[in-house]
Amino acid sequence: HLCDFYHYTHDVVASGSDMRRVLHIGPCETPGGMAKVMNILAEHPPEGWKADLLSTHKNGNPIIKYLAYRKAMKSFKKMLASKDTSIDLVHVHTAADWSWRRKKRFIIMARKHSVSCLIHLHSGKFESWMKSPNSVRAKKIRTLINNTDSQVVVLSDEWKKRLQPYIGFTHVIHNPVDPHVFHDKKIKREENRILLLGRNDAVKGHQFAIKLGEKLVNSIPNLKITMTGIKENLHPWVEAKGWVSEQEKLDLLQKSSLLIAPSEYEGQPLAILEALTCGLPCLASDKIIGLPEIVEFAELGNILDWSNKVKNMLNRHIIAEDLISASEPYKINNIVNLWKRIYDNIFD
């Protein structure tokens, strides 16, 4: 999706002068879960709302990233100053660290122009980045939230419990699953095909997945581990796909036997929610919180624990209906209704 401001203004909602407009600000052009969530929400705004996107990030060196940020800030200032552009709500999508440092400037700028703000925390690293509720960083974030009268949304009840001592009251809304993701009973799953979906980042666990494969390859016939994010690998049983299209990702979800998420941290991995929607079992790191109970867990970095659980899950009969049922709360219609409640309440 192109994330320039003017694209969604006319494409998402065609009419209704009395409709309010929300502007989603974040890395909507950078491959990853946050971008996917932004695009899903922009394509499915709540009733009575129009939605637009503003991209703030590009992959590359620090100069490329800075230029993307500067371009976004320049566009945002023009929007706020324009008499022809009406923004009722700024919905900021952010992770921790430099993502937050960039986004807070948009929040401050919006409030200077009396535009309401909503802060959507996607990162599984936000708690550790703040260090403690009494840290200087946490106090500054709380002050910014209070001074701008911003609403904060986190991804699960577990994140709400963890983050409220740091930043104050938060709402909870799960990540939405793209309505184009579905379970196809006609597609036969390939035996012993393990799937890892994620960008090429050390925290996603690609190297651990390769070590896991080395542990399993002699005991599991025809083992194949398919991974997105990485493009090269020396093992014949590893399929390194790089970044894939949405259709190819859906094919992988429908044909694989097991999805693994050995990540060091996550907010709420969209890949797991999509896998459940496709009736695909999931094994996740025990460091990932806020997932449905049907997801199974293994200790982060423990090869023996992971290998034993992978073997058990590959030998088990899949009851796709149970997995699909667990994905119900993440369907777009349910998520949009929750966003409508929060959006509307800001103006009540």
The DSSP line for 49-85 is: EEEEEEE---SSSHHHHHHHHHHHHHHHHHHHH-SS-
**By the 8 A CB rule, do 286 and 266 touch?**
no
- In this structure, the strands spanning 171-172 and 151-154 are parallel
Average pLDDT of the chain, as a whole number: 93
Which helix (H) or strand (E) element contains residue 148? none
Give pTM, 2 decimals: 0.92
Confidence (pLDDT) at 83: 76
Q: Which residue shows structure tokens 């929400």?
A: 41
Q: H helices then E strands: how many in the chain? A: 13, 12
Residue 141's H or E segment, with its range, is helix 136-147
pLDDT value of residue 3: 57
Strand pairing category for 116-121 and 89-94: parallel
Q: Pick out the chain residues at pLDDT < 50.
A: 1-2, 5-15
pLDDT tens digits, 169-217: 999 999 999 999 999 999 999 999 999 999 988 999 999 999 999 999 9
CB 54 within 8 A of CB 345: no
d(CA 85, CA 265): 38
Would you state the pLDDT for residue 15?
A: 46
Residues 202 and 206: their CA atoms lie apart, in Å, by 7
Token look-up 């550790």 returns 128
